[in-house]
């Protein structure tokens, strides 16, 4: 498909970043190319419109989920909420800690970000181990939201992040080994 090719052509690989053995998928060329960025949003919008009759909220992950989520939410005519790193959100929050390759991290959501039973799609740029999206799902479960799926631009298949977010569905536009 033409749009997918356009998107794929704007993802750069940086071997050994940020550490030896890791191949970093850089999305900055996609953001610099309005046609390619538009194609990525088109594909996400088409997928969501085809799959769901109702979505209430898009929830995006700090920080690159913020690059896609608001635009996508505008296209769908719905709201966008933030899932942020610890200590950034004012007021009452829910938080969850999760393990990284080295150490721990914590994500937070405002307690009133979504209402119980609201149908939510969670978005990020990329899924690696799935730890971040697992934490995001855990936060939305705490708020009693209905999680429809996790949606990412890029899935790193060999790290099996899809398993980590089970039982929730993971959808990706591009897959790499």
**Which of 59, 32, 29, 50 has the alpha carbon at shortest distance from 152?**
59
Cα–Cα separations (whole angstroms), residue 72 to 28, 42, 47, 118, 158: 18, 8, 11, 17, 27
Task: Classify strands 23-26 and 12-15 as parallel, antiparallel or unpaired.
Answer: antiparallel
Backbone torsions φ then ψ of 86, nearest 5 degrees: -50, 140
Residues between 95 and 114 that touch ligand 5GP (CB under 6 A): none
CB closer to ligand 5GP, 15 vs 116: 15
By CB under 6 A, tell whether 155 contacts ligand 5GP: no
Catalytic site residue 101? yes
Q: Total number of residues binding ligand 5GP (CB under 6 A)? A: 15
By CB under 6 A, tell whether 130 contacts ligand 5GP: yes
By CB under 6 A, tell whether 25 contacts ligand 5GP: yes
Encoding tokens for residue 14? 């940086």
Indicate which single residue of 132, 143, 149, 168 sits in contact with ligand 5GP (rule: CB under 6 A): 132
Catalytic residue among 8, 25, 64, 75: 64
**Residues of this chain that bind ligand 5GP (CB under 6 A):** 24-25, 27, 61, 64, 124-132, 161
């Amino acid at each position: 498909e033409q749009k997918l090719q356009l998107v794929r052509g704007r993802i750069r690989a940086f071997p050994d970043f940020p550490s030896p053995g890791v191949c970093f998928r850089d999305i900055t060329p996609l953001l610099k190319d309005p046609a390619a960025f538009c194609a990525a949003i088109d594909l996400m919008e088409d997928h969501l419109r085809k799959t769901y009759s109702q979505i209430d909220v898009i929830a995006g992950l700090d920080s690159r989920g913020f690059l896609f989520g608001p635009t996508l939410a505008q296209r769908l005519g719905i709201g966008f909420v933030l899932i942020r790193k610890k200590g950034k959100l004012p007021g009452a929050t829910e938080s969850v800690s999760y393990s990284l390759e080295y150490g721990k991290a914590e994500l937070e959501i405002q307690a009133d970000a979504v209402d119980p039973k609201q149908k939510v799609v969670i978005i990020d740029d990329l899924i690696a181990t799935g730890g971040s999206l697992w934490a995001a799902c855990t936060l939305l479960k705490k708020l009693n939201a209905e999680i429809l799926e996790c949606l990412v631009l890029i899935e790193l298949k060999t790290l099996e992040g899809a398993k980590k977010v089970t039982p929730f569905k993971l959808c990706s536009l591009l897959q790499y080994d």
